[in-house]
Amino acid sequence: MKRRFRSLGIILLILVALCVPGLLWRSQQRANVQANYRSAMAPVFLVPGSSATQNRFNALVAELNRETPHQHSLLRVEVMTDGTLKYTGSVRPTDKQPIIVVGFENHHDGYATIQKQAKWFTIAFKALQQTYHFNHFSAMGHSNGGLVLTIFLEDDVARTKTHADRLMTIASPFNLEESDQNVDTPLFKQLSGNRKRLPKALTVYSIAGSEGYSGDGIVPFDSVNRGKLIFQGQVKHFTQMTVTGANANHADLPENQQIVALIRQDLLK
């Protein structure tokens, strides 16, 4: 009898030993699927620069939709200084790539304001994520809007557990308006110091405008070009471009036809 129980015990131990690797494999597979799953919806966030509101890109979105087979919904969100949100526009239930513009009640310039706007953007992002249940997205920021998005990607996106697919910055002054190439502003030190936190699978396009030899009329070339010192070697792909010709000054860049084509090609895939 004892021999029979001993044999049964050995058989049970063998069965358990055989089952454990399978259970561990299934758990690992489930984790891999959850990590790599992409929701059907992948919104494109647009963030304007200083002195611009959530209505800044109305003309741009209309132009994008004019030659796009699938019309993109336009939802505008204004983040108030107390963190509350105001919505205009809507997202169609069947739209898999809506355009969401996030603007700020306080849209003044300055390093301190940019920091606040990055946190306000996070508030809006989390609220929209809860509403629309997306887990990946792309984004474009004009001027300081590109700085807001970069801070968000370094500081907060990991906590939202979403995948950042593509980022386009247009005339974003990564060293603010400092024209001396030997001077690093506190903002540049912050962005370059935190660059290892950037999503590794991210594709980044940094676009500069050329009105003259030194910049786009407002932002110096060196300030925009410093994006390579932040993104290059930290993200999957980094491309830097300069746009010249008509509408190449700072304020007109979002409506520049070359940039509209790049947005349509690289963000609205």
Does residue 151 sit in the same domain as residue 26? no
Does residue 53 sit in the same domain as residue 169? yes
Residue-level pLDDT at 217 = 80
Does residue 89 sit in the same domain as residue 9? no
Does residue 74 sit in the same domain as residue 201? yes
Residue ranges making up the domain that contains 66: 38-266
The CATH number that applies at residue 73 is 3.40.50.1820
Q: Which residues contact 42 (CB under 8 A, 6 or more apart)?
A: 96, 97, 134, 136, 137, 138, 165
Q: Domain tally for the chain?
A: 2
Does residue 153 sit in the same domain as residue 68? yes
Does residue 90 sit in the same domain as residue 125? yes
Does residue 210 sit in the same domain as residue 77? yes
* Contact call for residues 240 and 196 (beta carbons, < 8 A): no
Q: Structure pTM?
A: 0.86
pLDDT along the chain (269 residues), means of 10: 59 61 48 61 97 96 88 97 97 96 97 98 98 97 98 97 97 94 96 98 95 75 95 98 85 91 91
Does residue 13 sit in the same domain as residue 100? no
Does residue 197 sit in the same domain as residue 257? yes
Does residue 125 sit in the same domain as residue 21? no
